[in-house]
Structure 1
Amino acid sequence: MPISPKATRETVQALAGFNDIQMDRFYVVTKEVAKKLVHEDFTITWKQMKANRKIEAIRGIELQLLEDDFPMISEKTFSEIVNWRMTRVVDTQRKYQQTIADACRSGTSRAYDPVRDT
């Protein structure tokens, strides 16, 4: 059964069998991968991403966690956990990049303000 999009960190952590330190590391690794994916195309969501890019991202996350001696979990459970996390973090990173882009655009052309500009 897939993990609910509204599942809490604690629920997913228990499902994965990660301790607090491992869960923190999982968050860092997935955020780094999400930043890279969003940098390549900041308009895309995790669900819209092509399967080959998702598989590559999931494998990269898995390899990093194995290097960090994370406990082995089933491929299906791992995939569900990564999908749960990446859906959230890619969206967050995408919104962050959009905010930065908007700030850069709006910061260069402000209307004349007689109070501010005198």
Structure 2
Amino acid sequence: MRKKITVLFVVVLSVFSFSCGDDLEKALDCTGENLLVQLESTADASNVKKIDYEIDYSGSYTVKSVKWTFGDGSVQTVNGTTVSHTYTAAGTFLVKADVTLKSGGSSCTSTHSKSVTVN
């Protein structure tokens, strides 16, 4: 199913970007690289309200920055792939990571999200 969605996305992207030449190639490369990004989270052992987040990326680009939106109104941009956030209350939060990948002089950003429950 994931493969079908990926193929459909690439076809749609190709149709809308057909006249872009090199830009199309960059967009397809970036789309492929973004599929290699995973958002991971782990509760801190010493504080149940503290969650450690990590971007797991196995592609050939470089992670330039990550803008984290923690679902509780807090936003933080980091130049690495890891960050920790301490919530003030228990609940379920939608966490988003806007991951900017860089290769040479070009870069692209994709958003990855997951639901996190804090006790």
Which TM-score band applies after superposition, normalised by the shorter structure?
A: under 0.3
Higher helix share: 1
More contact order relative to length (CA 8 Å, sep ≥ 6): 1
The structure with more radius of gyration: 1
Query: Normalized against structure 2, the TM-score is what?
Result: 0.27
Query: Normalized against structure 1, the TM-score is what?
Result: 0.27
